[in-house]
Structure 1
Amino acid sequence: MDKFDRSTQRELLQLLYDAHPFEIPDDALSSVLALFGSEQILLSNLIYLEEHGLIKNAIDYTLDGPEVNIPELRITKDGIDFLRDDGGLNAILNVLTLRLHNETLSELERVINSSTTATTEDKSKLISQLRSLPADAIKQLTIRLLGQGLDRLPDVFQLIQKALQTV
């Protein structure tokens, strides 16, 4: 058995989800312990899930070492959102509004024209396609380009450092 078995972790989260906002029943410790097979594996998983913010109050740290704290064990908002797999309220509350101005389209055209790897014909075709896109498609394209640019941020820093060394 895998020490950090995802299906077993999900069962524990579901048990806490079903009991929310109350604690799980007193007899739950034995059923939870049976799920994980040993107290050591249970402790490891509780610590792991708590470190990821999916549960809270899982462990009491005593002089004798960590102990399971079933009466106080609760699922968090992040644990609930994880189980529901719908993005939760964060998907609703953390909406990012991206406004595109005419300058954005002009800047995209400038970037295309400054390319040294594309032919003039390819550049013209790409700009023509870009101009024919509806605003929503341009927005989606810009978001994807921004995401890919952020993914390559370490490469950009290296290029800047190289350029500064030659100046």
Structure 2
Amino acid sequence: MAELLNRDVQRALLERLQASYPAPLSPMAFRDFTDDRTAAVNLCYLAEHRLVDCEVRVFDGIPRVAHPKISAKGIDFLADDGGLGAILGTVTVKLHSDTVRDLLIARVRESDEPDTVKTRLIDQLKATPAVALGQLTERALDAGLQAMPRFAEWLQGQF
């Protein structure tokens, strides 16, 4: 079965289905560039990845596909920019000012500074407004990244 899976066939199937969107196609619509078994196996594979919606039935070990239709995820897959899925899948990370404040206070406490300096800095951090903490966080992040001469190399090691 694995020898029937083919990226070129999968792309051609998706493009053919996209051209007929939102209407489903008959499996006969793919006969001009692949045989029935190859089309069915690749459509099943695409359906398992939710790029295609279709009904799959197996008769005597041979898969049959009915009413194949490209899904929104399939259209986004074909889009150069990732489509709406890329926009809707954007993740925004927000750090609450109390979280930032707690992280900074922890770093001050871990520092080698004298206790009098630590106490003064902690009191200042506790009195700092959220907007100023945001600006301080941006500057600290920028300074940290500049202090890492091989940032891209380090980042690759994290994933």
Shorter chain as denominator, the TM-score bin is 0.5 to 0.7
- Taking a change above 3 Å as real, the CA distance of residues 83 and 135 of structure 1, as seen in their structure-2 partners, is farther
SS at match of 1:73: strand
Q: 1:57, 1:74 within 8 Å by CA — same for their partners in 2?
A: yes
* Gapped regions of structure 2 (runs ≥ 5): 114-134, 143-154
Count of matched residue positions in the alignment of Structure 1 and Structure 2 = 124
Deviation at 1:64, TM superposition (A): 6.8
Q: 2:22 is aligned with what amino acid?
A: P
Within the candidate set 123, 130, 138, 1:133 is matched to 138
2:64 equivalent in structure 1: 67
1:28 equivalent in structure 2: 29
* Gapped regions of structure 1 (runs ≥ 5): 122-129, 138-147, 153-167
Please report the TM-score for the alignment, with normalisation by the length of structure 2: 0.55
Q: 2:44, 2:65 within 8 Å by CA — same for their partners in 1?
A: no
Q: 1:58, 1:74 within 8 Å by CA — same for their partners in 2?
A: no
- Residue by residue over 1:74-100, the C-alpha shift from the partner in whole angstroms, topping out at 9 and shown as x without a partner, is 001111111114333334445545433
1:46 equivalent in structure 2: 43
- Residue by residue over 1:93-127, the C-alpha shift from the partner in whole angstroms, topping out at 9 and shown as x without a partner, is 45545433322222332554577xxx859xxxxxx
Please report the TM-score for the alignment, with normalisation by the length of structure 1: 0.53
Q: 2:43, 2:68 within 8 Å by CA — same for their partners in 1?
A: no
Q: 1:57, 1:73 within 8 Å by CA — same for their partners in 2?
A: yes
Larger fraction in helix: 1
